[in-house]
Chain A
């Protein structure tokens, strides 16, 4: 591993760290904006889990797709979406990815390979399988990676989707982000198995457990799964073990998790850990590491400025895009 890593282009590794810092800065800023009443509804922070999105998306190409969850900002940033358009969406502005129609939980950018964030737990799993089959039908090379959480693992549709994906050998990668907790229920109370990856056996697909706080490990196992999917060998179930170190959401302040558990996971912070690796094994200077963190914060501030300057949607436009253009559709009138 160390020798492979040593050969790695340091610039690319710095790019991974920058993305992780961007997610961290974006989420912390979004939580502040919620407190300032600039964000409605809620924000589900991805803090502590940055290595999963960044590692997994680093194994994807521009023609590959992802589906995401209610805790999806990290996936979007990792897939290369524009922070400005993301922030404008979350603040509910016309200049956002979805013109303020979707908000935090529904960011969609197909041109960036982001099929959409889905706030129904496990809701996008079959969508990922169908998209993968559709790409293959069109003769396209893309793979679809589906992010979901430990909670989704107990939804019926996930079982159906994994099975269908396996039966079709659809070029799909299932990435379970096990962050150990639903809002207040630990994963251990929701399933009797220690590793959700074990369920892969039920679909005759490989099941892989990976340290979700190790960005390079996530990238490596995802790379294998993507190669397998692209080769027509079907889906893989990856379980990335991690932890959300912030509350479930900006609107859910009560946190029942033990303080010592939180402290233990904070000590395994994926960003600090990767920073140490860059310093120790790749000779990246502390000043450079600090610069990357500062750059991420600047990028997020620019995104906030862009978002706040973007116009609010006009109420007259509330009924636009309920339907796609069609012969039967009278503009400005509902069906």
Chain B
């Protein structure tokens, strides 16, 4: 394995190049993705390489883009739809939930809908309430969908490739603040399997289960605890649906303590589901009450001090870990 470093944008871009090269049925649709290469350059260079039939600058009609993706998938293509800002999922919910996620089941298994909807989760940079939501739990709740949220360039590339090759509709949410973050990405071809969590840091004292930006908050918190002799295990779920219950529960059985970190608003969040699954399957292993560290149940404010107050910060993760450890910090 080479020690090449790429940003998450570059890694995702490579995934698209490789999959479009590999399968002529893969095409991309979205706003400003062709000529401009996408607001975050994830689709850079695709137009030049694959032409305007496969790299489409669409009108600002998110629902039609998603619906068109479903239709193309039904006849055997593998569309990748880019939502410039993930909050716009509210505009495509009918096409994704009522169509993409159900068409196979409603047809009695007669069709497949290999469809990927990518979106940039843009919280943390002052984009305010309509451009900063983390709405993955909406899609976890809807039957028939796969939901993925990567935390590193390596995972992002490998999971996007798997998502494109999967015969099921996938909602793939990318944290915008991670686009420019670098990480090791090998030159060689690889994929990351769907439904497999990754232990990003091993530790025996407490499990932090999280995904996307939450992984970095957890790792930062874990480094602080390590200095005090407390070993935090960070489980990057990577795929929210299907959930790797085995890795999650295995970690909690080892540590006996669980903190779940998400940047989504707390009520009905995926963190709640993770806590429920762990208590379903490993209640006996829990030595303390599971803790959720989530965003406040408020629209995302604009001003920096307010946004920081609503979004979970490292201090909140630290406090959550202390609570799970039943530890009063010095």
Which of A22-30, A32-40, A112-120, A259-267 contacts its partner? A112-120
Q: Which residue of B lies closest to A118 (CB)?
A: B99
Q: Give the Cβ gap from A160 to chain B, nearest Cβ, in Å.
A: 3
Q: Give the Cβ gap from A130 to chain B, nearest Cβ, in Å.
A: 3
Q: Within 8 Å of chain B (Cβ to Cβ): is A329?
A: yes
Q: Give the Cβ gap from A72 to chain B, nearest Cβ, in Å.
A: 12
B64-A101 in contact (CB<8A)? no
Q: Within 8 Å of chain A (Cβ to Cβ): is B65?
A: yes
A320-B67 in contact (CB<8A)? no
A160-B243 in contact (CB<8A)? no
Q: Within 8 Å of chain A (Cβ to Cβ): is B230?
A: no
Q: Which residues of A contact B67 (CB under 8 A)?
A: 123-127, 129-130, 157, 160-161
Q: Within 8 Å of chain A (Cβ to Cβ): is B44?
A: no
Q: Which residue of A lies closest to B62 (CB)?
A: A160
Q: Which residues of B contact A312 (CB under 8 A)?
A: none
Of B95, B106, B243, the contact of A335 (CB 8 Å cutoff): B243
Which of B73-81, B117-125, B258-266 contacts its partner? B73-81
Q: Within 8 Å of chain B (Cβ to Cβ): is A280?
A: no
Task: Mark each residue of chain A from 51 to 83: 1 if its CB lies under 8 Å from any CB of chain B, else 0.
Answer: 000000000000001010000000000000000
A129-B71 in contact (CB<8A)? yes
Of A134, A320, A335, the contact of B72 (CB 8 Å cutoff): A134
Instruction: Take A161-B64, A326-B194 as given contacts and tell me if A321 and B108 are in contact as well, using a CB distance cutoff of 8 Å.
Output: yes
For window 157-182 of chain A, which residues contact chain B by CB distance below 8 Å? 157, 160-161, 163-164, 167-168
Which of B52-60, B174-182, B218-226 contacts its partner? B52-60
A327-B193 in contact (CB<8A)? yes
Instruction: Take A126-B64, A137-B54, A163-B61 as given contacts and tell me if A101 and B71 are in contact as well, using a CB distance cutoff of 8 Å.
Output: no
Q: Which residues of B contact A67 (CB under 8 A)?
A: 71
Q: Which residue of A lies closest to B27 (CB)?
A: A137
Q: Which residues of B contact A115 (CB under 8 A)?
A: 71, 74-75
Q: Which residues of A contact B111 (CB under 8 A)?
A: 108, 110, 116
A108-B25 in contact (CB<8A)? no
Q: Give the Cβ gap from A251 to chain B, nearest Cβ, in Å.
A: 19
B71-A328 in contact (CB<8A)? no
Q: Within 8 Å of chain B (Cβ to Cβ): is A241?
A: no
Q: Which residues of A contact B143 (CB under 8 A)?
A: 322
Q: Which residue of B lies closest to A111 (CB)?
A: B110
Q: Which residue of B lies closest to A172 (CB)?
A: B71
Q: Within 8 Å of chain B (Cβ to Cβ): is A324?
A: yes
Q: Which residue of B lies closest to A157 (CB)?
A: B63
In the assembled complex, the Cα of A167 lies from the Cα of B77 at a distance in Å of 20
Q: Give the Cβ gap from B211 to chain A, nearest Cβ, in Å.
A: 15
Q: Within 8 Å of chain B (Cβ to Cβ): is A131?
A: yes
B64-A321 in contact (CB<8A)? no
A167-B74 in contact (CB<8A)? no
Q: Which residue of B lies closest to A167 (CB)?
A: B59
A110-B110 in contact (CB<8A)? yes
Q: Give the Cβ gap from B133 to chain A, nearest Cβ, in Å.
A: 21
Q: Which residues of B contact A142 (CB under 8 A)?
A: 75
B242-A335 in contact (CB<8A)? yes
A-B contact count (CB 8 A): 186
In the assembled complex, the Cα of A102 lies from the Cα of B40 at a distance in Å of 40
Q: Which residues of A contact B242 (CB under 8 A)?
A: 328-329, 335
Q: Which residue of A lies closest to B191 (CB)?
A: A327
B98-A120 in contact (CB<8A)? yes
Q: Give the Cβ gap from B158 to chain A, nearest Cβ, in Å.
A: 13
Which of A9-17, A41-49, A92-100, A301-309 contacts its partner? A92-100
Of A106, A120, A134, A164, the contact of B77 (CB 8 Å cutoff): A134
Q: Which residue of B lies closest to A318 (CB)?
A: B105
Q: Give the Cβ gap from B215 to chain A, nearest Cβ, in Å.
A: 20
A335-B146 in contact (CB<8A)? yes
A108-B110 in contact (CB<8A)? yes
Q: Which residue of A lies closest to B77 (CB)?
A: A134
Instruction: Take A127-B99, A157-B63, A323-B168 as given contacts and tell me if A132 and B71 are in contact as well, using a CB distance cutoff of 8 Å.
Output: yes
Q: Within 8 Å of chain B (Cβ to Cβ): is A196?
A: no
Instruction: Take A108-B111, A160-B61, A321-B109 as given contacts and tell me if A120 and B99 are in contact as well, using a CB distance cutoff of 8 Å.
Output: yes
Q: Which residue of A lies closest to B53 (CB)?
A: A137
Instruction: Take A98-B106, A134-B76 as given contacts and tell me if A123 and B71 are in contact as well, using a CB distance cutoff of 8 Å.
Output: no
Q: Give the Cβ gap from A133 to chain B, nearest Cβ, in Å.
A: 6
**Subset of 26 A-B contacts with CB under 8 Å:** A98-B106, A99-B109, A100-B108, A101-B107, A108-B106, A115-B74, A116-B107, A118-B99, A123-B94, A124-B99, A126-B67, A126-B71, A127-B67, A127-B70, A127-B71, A130-B71, A130-B73, A133-B72, A134-B77, A137-B27, A157-B64, A160-B67, A161-B67, A168-B56, A322-B143, A328-B239
Known: A325-B167, A327-B194. 19 other contacts (CB 8 A): A101-B105, A101-B106, A101-B107, A102-B107, A115-B71, A116-B106, A116-B107, A126-B64, A127-B70, A127-B99, A128-B71, A130-B69, A136-B53, A137-B25, A137-B77, A321-B108, A324-B113, A324-B114, A324-B168
Interface residues of B (CB under 8 A from A): 24-25, 27, 53-54, 56, 58-59, 61, 63-77, 79, 94-95, 98-99, 103-114, 143-144, 146, 166-168, 193-196, 239, 241-243
Instruction: Return the 6 tightest CB-CB contacts between A and B, nearest first.
Output: A126-B67, A130-B68, A130-B71, A134-B72, A328-B195, A335-B242
